[in-house]
Amino acid sequence: DSLEGLQQVMSVHVFAVWDFMLILKALQRKLTCVERTWIPAESSVVCRFINEIVLAEESDEVVAGEYMSHFELYLQAMREVGADRTMIESFVGQLRQGVSVVEAMNKVELSEAVQSFIAFTLEVIDMPVHQVAAVFLFGRESIIPEMFSVFLEKLTREQQEKAPLFRLYLERHIQLDSEDHGPMGRRTLELLCGSNASKWQDVLNVAKI
């Protein structure tokens, strides 16, 4: 309900923005080929869906002729409103030096809530691919449009004036996730599970977590 409140939220939420890419890139590794020796994906449809989502999330054309990841857009939005970027920049800096995610979290002394959130994602990305896809869909893509729409509606006039890039970030995800990425994620999960009841039970179990 204030610019200061928005600054505090963004300084924590930025780790969820980074964490999102952990799941997405795990799916890309599992469902496409990113190895030195290329082999065709098992499903060209799923490969297309994942690569298309990665394209937008990792190198979106946020304005005409300007490309950046949504993480980078978020960092710019944080700078715009004066949100503290010290912890996220220190965290990414540790990762660039080859430090593990767990070590980086400890060195930066992230809050218990943030560490718990990321730790769960680290468990997820080592799960079978249909479970990773389930968390990606039900824990990210399918809930973001409604969540961000509510957030956008609650932004005060001061916040909207001070944070046009944050508004752009919210609006871009509401559009992409509701119209494109959400349906792609759902179709990917359907193709991965098919008529396998055991896999659908796995999906249900991990989605509840």
pLDDT tens for the chain, 209 residues long, are 678 888 999 999 999 999 999 999 999 999 999 999 999 999 999 999 999 999 999 999 988 888 999 999 999 999 999 999 999 999 999 999 999 999 999 999 899 999 999 999 999 999 999 999 999 999 999 999 999 999 888 888 877 887 899 999 999 999 998 999 999 999 999 999 999 999 999 999 998 88
Report yes or no on whether pTM surpasses 0.85.
yes
Rounded Cα distance, 46 and 32, in Å:
8
In angstroms, rounded to a whole number, what is the distance separating the alpha carbons of residues 19 and 17?
5
Buried b or exposed e, range 130-153, using 16+ CB within 10 angstroms? bbbbbbbbbbbbbebbeebeebbe
Neighbouring residues of 97: CB distance < 8 A, sequence distance ≥ 6: none
Calpha distance 8→1 (Å, rounded)? 11
Under DSSP, the state recorded for 178 is I
pLDDT in tens, 110-158: 999 999 999 999 999 999 999 999 999 999 999 999 999 998 888 888 7
3-state secondary structure 194-206: CCCHHHHHHHHHH
User: What's at 145, amino acid-wise?
Assistant: P
Q: 63 - beta bridge partners? A: 66
Helix axes 86-96, 3-31, angle to 10 degrees: 20
